[in-house]
Chains A and B, each alone.
Chain A
């Protein structure tokens, strides 16, 4: 009896201790929707034959969202709506995800952007959702001079910063002067520093930039420069501005307590907002009262939070794609990467200082297998240096590049011609030295599988690959110093100057991780950057692509598909760009 009473007493204590918190009301289980199932608007991929990077001289037209409403959403609602769609509802808290590492909201010190950045800042110009060119945001229009040595921005009237001060020409001048100041070392200073020689303000709504040379990359740079309130910046000071940022965007951050590093940011609706890009239906203030940007870097957690409705909009990691597509509460949107995944060589070190060896490796790579094993077929094989979503992507260049597709016999012959013959262990050797290569990669998903598959494919032609997993900072450090041989990496950029970051000889020791040096390519890429005529620029891009395809300083392998998902039973009005980037101006909560 005594034993029984003791057992009961202990059991009670244990139950209480374990379930102490569970006595609170259980979480609301998301219920099946009977509300209208709103469809996402996904803008179609732009035809790369249009003229994207040269600014129109008048306010640009934009993609028509209504025509694209049902074409590109990848998951169709499983049940038809039983009631007519209601209009957007105001209020509530929308919770979205930031799945990259926490970074500052100070655009002059920005290392990488995050969803909150796009919600609280506006830009003079922005990329169109189909990335076919630029659209107006804070500048209604812009005009290049006939000699392309100046550009005039006509600002949208009546725009105010979130602190109530006017976003006028003087404010824009202050911003551009700070962005181009090399002492500040903002990310934009690399381009603007030597390019913009003067900023003048003929009147309150006009800003003129004088340029040292014609530039096709100016607008691309400007499209990433959030406009900061000069008054707020000077009041808060450069050191602390990131904690209390002030922009002109649809949401604002009340103060430092709304930003909990590595945890979340809370953004509040800007009631005065009335200057969104033209493709949005909502021309005024956004509908939700607040947006919480939750920092979630674990894929499983992020997807589980979306499944349970704790967050309503989030990227979909590829490994959860099947589950997401089967989930009747989720709409999955597919986009395409603005760049490529590639195998890079150190072109200044043996054995890859030999073009034939590089090409031979290219012949040994079975991209279809990599796409299947690495990305579960959620990527497209690529042979040339540009993604189809980048300006200047040339089908002609891609066709030429495809001539170097998988052919292990050719690879073996080319290596044999260079003196590499199989040893007794099957590994190729030349003058007593084995063809053994250290292969750097970041051991995340799916890079690890891709690297292992490449190891296997190259073993088939007698190349021994020693896998060298490194974290991204270490990999970049080693490739910058030039002590590497071969690496697996990616590059993403809307503009084709991604090729210059990868291969311009001026960037050796920096972003030119391939340490590739070719005078013809340098000239082609420099000409490409200063050519504003779209057709001429496209020809220069193709010329550069052809040199790269011929020289093979890298082996492009795939263009990833990108996926975003949202709870269609909780959120309406979602729009996405061609990269599957979520746009929130029209978003509203179905049950705020």
Chain B
């Protein structure tokens, strides 16, 4: 196990570096827009724009800029935001708890709702419950995040006044962002669980459990559900990565200053240091979660051994 983890971590290093290099080059070669111009403002003189460019090191050849970036990265220095002049690491640490709270609550919501939908629709296959939930699932999975967010806001915050429009880290402040971010994924997970549950529920060992007189709830939730969890763990890893990306829209709608908002603001203002750090951070989190998912296989199904 330890060898496996170390090997995966070592493989991750060139992967992260490659990604960093691609983002670095794409920003400076393919994405139009001059950070010095943005920073200098609309009425800046050419002289001042050039001065800012020199100050930010943007006048140097690309390989030298990249070398300097790598050198600083090796020292744990991600630079400063060109717009706010704050250390990028500080910006990340401020934004991280917000995104972490949102993705955590959403992850829990997706897992619970997805499993419940999957189990219910599989157990009551082809009944009105199954049909209704499947229709709702398809509808939910098809809804664009921004539309769902605005509709939820209109209903629960503006019309009913039950929940706040602007999200925050309190349980009440996280409900609408969580529903917005997680409903589509929960519906998708529900359909996956349903398909797996249908296979499992028709297995011999389930019939054997029932023949032994096991309680129905125990048969479904302990014997059947536990055997559908392997694909769920795989999906869970990807889901968290997806949540980090999807949080961009949700955070923007609900006024949450997390990593998503940080990224989108940085892209708009061509804040290279922040974009690079944000992408790097999300990449590392994504890799870590996938590694965690692989390790979790072993716990969910002892037959799987990591090598």
Contacts and interface: CB of A to CB of B under 8 A. Distances in A.
Interface of A: 2-3, 5-7, 9-10, 13-14, 17-22, 24, 26-30, 101-104, 106, 109-112, 182-183, 185, 187, 189-190, 239, 242-243, 256, 260-264, 294-298, 300-301, 304-305, 307-308, 310-311, 470-474, 476-478, 480, 491, 493, 501, 507, 509-511
A470 B31 CA distance: 11
A187 B44 contact: yes
Given A111-B40, A262-B257, A305 B166 contact: yes
Interface in B39-57: 39-49, 51-52, 55
Nearest to A511: B43
B252 A298 contact: yes
A304 B83 contact: no
Interface residues of B, number: 73
B94 interface: yes
B166 A300 contact: no
Contacts of B124: 3, 7
B267 to A, nearest CB: 8
B176 to A, nearest CB: 10
A479 to B, nearest CB: 10
Contacts of B70: none
Contacts of B109: 17-18
Nearest to A472: B268
Given A18-B113, A106-B85, A111-B38, A101 B269 contact: yes
Given A2-B217, A112-B41, A471-B268, A298 B255 contact: yes
Nearest 5 pairs of A and B residues by beta carbon: A263-B257, A473-B33, A21-B171, A2-B216, A262-B257
Nearest to B261: A262
B283 interface: no
B270 A111 contact: no
Contact of B215 (A2, A19, A106, A305): A2
A301 B253 CA distance: 6
A305 B165 contact: yes
29 contacts: A6-B216, A10-B116, A14-B112, A14-B116, A17-B112, A21-B172, A21-B175, A101-B268, A101-B269, A185-B52, A189-B48, A242-B85, A263-B98, A263-B256, A263-B257, A263-B261, A298-B255, A301-B253, A305-B166, A305-B255, A310-B165, A470-B32, A472-B268, A473-B34, A473-B268, A476-B37, A477-B33, A477-B34, A507-B45
A294 B158 contact: no
Contacts of A507: 45-46
Interface string B63-80: 000000000000000001
Given A17-B109, A21-B174, A294 B166 contact: yes
A108 to B, nearest CB: 10
B144 interface: no
B161 interface: yes
Given A5-B217, A22-B172, A298 B83 contact: no
Interface in B86-143: 86, 90-91, 94-95, 98, 108-109, 112-113, 116, 119-120, 123-124, 129
Nearest to A5: B217
A140 to B, nearest CB: 29
Contacts of A493: 43
A20 B98 CA distance: 19
B166 A301 contact: yes
Interface in B143-164: 150, 153-154, 157-158, 161-164
Interface in B215-229: 215-217, 220
B215 A261 contact: no
